[in-house]
C-alpha cells in the first residue's frame, strides 16, 4: 500500500505516529495553505487537516477532515479510512524527517552515537538515510506496540 499523506500544522502528533508506523507523511510546523495544497497536488498526497477553511478551499486533492482533537482518535480515523496495517511497516521510517531507515550492519561505526546500554546489549540499529539519526530496538518499541494495540482496540492506555 503506498498511500502518502501531508498533515497540516495542527496535526504534529498524528504525523509522528503515522511515520512510526512507516507511512510516508509530510509535516511542517508552519506552512501556508497554498503551499500545502501545491505539494499535495504535485506529490499526490492525501491531505490530513483540522482546518475547515482549508477543507473548503481544497478543490482537487483527496482530503480527510480530522475533527477529533485526540491524537489517538485521529490515528484510528486514518487507519480505518484507508484500511491501513499499522504493524507491517512499523519502525521503518524516521519520525523526525520522514525518510526511510536502513539497518546498520557495522555497529562499531555508530558506537559513539548511541547510549552505552544500547550498544552493549547488541540491539539492532537503524540509520535514517535522511538526517542520519540512529534508532535501535529497545524497550520503547514494546511500549509503542502496546500503545497502538490499546488505541486500536479502543481501550484506555495500558
Ligand atoms: Zn531522519
pLDDT at 155 over 80: no
Domain 5-82, architecture per CATH: 3-Layer(aba) Sandwich (3.40)
Question: Per the structure block, which three cell numbers stand in for 124?
Answer: 539492532
Q: Rounded to the nearest whole angstrom, what is the distance from the C-alpha of residue 155 to the centroid of ligand 1? A: 31
Residue 158's pLDDT is 43
Q: Rounded to the nearest whole angstrom, what is the distance from the C-alpha of residue 113 to the centroid of ligand 1? A: 14
Question: What mean pLDDT value characterizes the chain?
Answer: 92
Question: Per the structure block, which three cell numbers stand in for 63?
Answer: 482530503
Q: Rounded to the nearest whole angstrom, what is the distance from the C-alpha of residue 154 to the centroid of ligand 1? A: 31
What mean pLDDT do residues 124-150 have? 92
Q: Rounded to the nearest whole angstrom, what is the distance from the C-alpha of residue 156 to the centroid of ligand 1? A: 31
Q: Please list the residue range(s) of the chain that carry CATH number 3.40.50.
A: 5-82
* Cβ neighbours of 75 (radius 10 Å): 25
Q: Are 40 and 48 in contact (CB under 8 A)?
A: no
Q: How confident is the model at residue 132 (pLDDT cuts 50, 70, 90)?
A: very high
**Phi, psi (rounded to 5 degrees) for 154:** 75, 15
Q: Rounded to the nearest whole angstrom, what is the distance from the C-alpha of residue 89 to the centroid of ligand 1? A: 16
pLDDT at 145 over 90: yes
Whole-angstrom Cα distance, residue 48 to residue 42? 16
pLDDT at 85 over 80: yes
Amino acid at each position: 500500500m503506498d498511500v502518502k499523506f501531508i498533515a497540516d500544522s495542527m496535526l504534529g502528533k498524528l504525523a509522528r505516529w503515522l511515520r512510526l508506523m512507516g507511512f510516508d507523511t509530510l509535516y511542517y510546523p508552519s506552512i501556508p495553505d497554498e503551499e500545502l495544497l501545491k505539494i499535495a497536488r504535485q506529490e499526490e498526497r492525501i491531505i490530513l487537516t483540522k482546518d475547515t477553511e482549508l477543507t473548503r478551499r481544497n478543490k482537487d486533492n483527496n482530503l480527510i477532515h480530522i475533527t477529533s482533537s485526540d491524537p489517538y482518535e485521529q490515528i484510528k480515523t486514518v487507519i480505518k479510512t484507508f484500511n491501513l496495517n499499522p504493524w507491517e511497516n512499523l519502525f521503518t521510517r524516521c519520525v523526525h524527517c520522514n525518510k526511510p531507515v536502513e539497518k546498520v550492519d557495522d555497529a562499531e561505526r555508530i558506537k559513539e552515537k548511541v547510549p552505552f546500554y544500547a550498544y552493549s546489549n547488541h540491539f539492532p540499529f537503524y540509520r535514517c538515510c535522511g538526517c542520519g539519526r540512529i534508532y535501535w530496538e529497545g524497550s520503547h518499541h514494546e511500549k509503542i506496540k502496546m500503545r497502538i494495540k490499546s488505541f486500536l482496540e479502543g481501550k484506555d492506555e495500558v
